[in-house]
């Protein structure tokens, strides 16, 4: 089935404008979701909101949104006030700069869209994609949609372009906030670790090699339920805590499982070293006893 466009957009940089179509790069429909049901009759449940203070149900037309600025203290906003604060959608991605693709840490990646040329945009689209590909750069800009403003990165992929929403700096935690102890790495350990990496290195990422086994199990269980069969769930084995292991032995064992025999540890040379001398006695040996003459 051909992909369906979810919207249109204009990429603007300098005096160049490229009309494009947006396509979702991911499938939310692939996710398996469950609903809450009444256990006795199997009917679906309806969510109900209650006022904490009065302990009474509240209808939708009695609700307003509020921001908690202090403990249990709120300022309320009407729907009209919130609407006025939204960013007006321009349907344009304004490019601000170009940076090396490697300069963007993937930790900032958010939702991704494929973009394809719209009517009249095939030639500038092809030119833009080729220029980015050969310069090994991506375009950074802003895109306003759905009342929000997003940072977007446009990068080349295969024969097309991907528009990647990026997180703002305030949405990404710094790794400096995590306590990572400093450890000394021995040269022998590093050598074996690099060798293990080389043995498991692929030329490129092939996502088809990875499947969601959990989703497959859930889908199979759902199908069995639909067909009226009972399912027997095996209890997952309990896993203990982290084990203290010999790092060198673990690396060697990992390599051997890959069919690689790591070189034996070189014996320490004793050349040039003086052999250990025995400690000399500090006390003189007792003189032999004299025998008395008769």
DSSP state of 37: B
Q: Residue 272: helix, strand or coil by DSSP?
A: coil
pLDDT of residue 232: 74
Is residue 252 a contact partner of residue 242, using CB atoms and an 8 Å limit?
no
Span 226-260, pLDDT tens digits: 888 887 766 655 655 555 567 778 777 877 777 77
Q: What is the CATH number of domain 7-26+87-171?
A: 2.40.290.10
∠ CA 176-179-185, rounded to 5°: 100
Q: And the tokens for 292?
A: 């008395």
Please, what sign has the CA dihedral across residues 175, 177, 179, 185? Answer: positive
Q: CA 125 to CA 162: how far, in whole Å?
A: 12
In the prediction, which pLDDT does 252 show? 79
Question: For the chain, which residues score pLDDT lower than 70?
Answer: 1, 28-30, 89, 233-245, 262-294
Q: Of the candidates 129, 131, 100, 125, which has an alpha carbon nearest to the alpha carbon of residue 9? A: 125
* Nearest in space to 124 (alpha carbons), one of 15, 22, 218: 15
The radius of gyration of the chain from alpha carbons, rounded to an integer in Å, stands at: 34
d(CA 115, CA 154): 9
Q: Cβ(154)–Cβ(141) under 8 Å? A: yes
How far is Cα 224 from Cα 127, in angstroms, rounded to an integer?
52
Q: Give the model's pLDDT for residue 264.
A: 47
pLDDT at 239: 57
């Amino acid at each position: 089935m051909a992909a369906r466009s979810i919207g249109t957009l204009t990429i603007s940089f300098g005096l160049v404008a490229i009309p494009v179509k947006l396509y979702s790069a991911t499938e939310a429909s692939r996710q398996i979701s469950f609903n809450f049901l009444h256990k006795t009759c199997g009917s679906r449940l309806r969510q109900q909101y209650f006022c904490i203070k009065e302990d009474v149900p509240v209808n939708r037309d009695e609700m307003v949104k509020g921001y908690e600025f202090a403990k249990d203290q709120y300022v309320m906003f009407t729907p009209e006030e919130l609407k006025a604060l939204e960013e007006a959608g321009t349907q344009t991605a304004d490019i601000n700069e170009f940076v090396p693709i490697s300069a963007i840490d993937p930790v900032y990646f958010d939702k991704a869209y494929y973009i394809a040329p719209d009517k009249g945009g095939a030639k500038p689209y092809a030119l833009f994609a080729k220029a980015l590909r050969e310069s090994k750069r991506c375009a950074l800009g802003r895109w306003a949609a759905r009342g929000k403003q997003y940072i977007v990165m446009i990068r080349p992929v295969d024969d097309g372009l991907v528009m990647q929403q990026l997180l703002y700096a305030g949405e990404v935690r710094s790794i400096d906030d995590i306590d990572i102890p400093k450890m000394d790495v021995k040269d022998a350990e590093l050598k074996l670790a690099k060798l293990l990496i080389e043995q498991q290195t692929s030329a490129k990422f092939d996502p088809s090699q990875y499947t969601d086994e959990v989703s497959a199990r859930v889908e199979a269980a759902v199908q069995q339920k639909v067909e009226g069969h009972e399912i027997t769930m095996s209890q997952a084995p309990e896993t203990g805590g982290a084990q203290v292991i010999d790092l060198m032995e673990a690396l060697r064992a990992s390599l051997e499982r890959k069919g690689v025999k790591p070189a034996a540890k070189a014996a320490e040379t004793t050349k040039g070293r003086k052999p250990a001398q025995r400690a000399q006695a500090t006390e003189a040996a007792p003189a032999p006893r004299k025998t008395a003459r008769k």
